[in-house]
Amino acid sequence: MKDRLSATFSALSDPTRRAILARLSEGEASVTELHEPFSSDMSLPAITKHLKVLENAGLIQKTKAAQWRTCSLNPEPLKEASDWIEQYSLFWEESLDRLDEYLKDIQKKNKKG
């Protein structure tokens, strides 16, 4: 069993799944509606497999009303991934700030010398 963060990144690794999440960020949609933009390139069963990956990662929730299956976005795993990435963003910002200060010091010394 993968940890939740690994499952999130694995699910996000596919452009079709990212496109599905982008669509769901606008509001819930049926499986048929989610399939429409891909209908010329991908079968409905293929979209269903992508949805299953997203659901297993906790990125979407499916509900069933009569014969319709509706999907909605669950943003919590995306927030966790964003928080994890943010740690490294801060590290690189601080590292680049230190490098900038170092380069400025070198330039000042070169002008004096």
Question: By the 8 A CB rule, do 76 and 60 touch?
Answer: no
Which pTM value belongs to this model?
A: 0.77
CA–CA dist 101, 104 (Å, integer): 5
Domains of the chain, by residue range, sit at 4-75
pLDDT at 2: 66
Residues in the chain: 113
- pLDDT tens, the chain, 113 aa long: 469 999 999 999 999 999 999 999 999 999 999 999 999 999 999 999 999 999 999 999 999 877 788 999 999 999 999 999 988 888 888 888 888 888 988 888 888 76
**So what CATH class is 4-75?**
mainly alpha
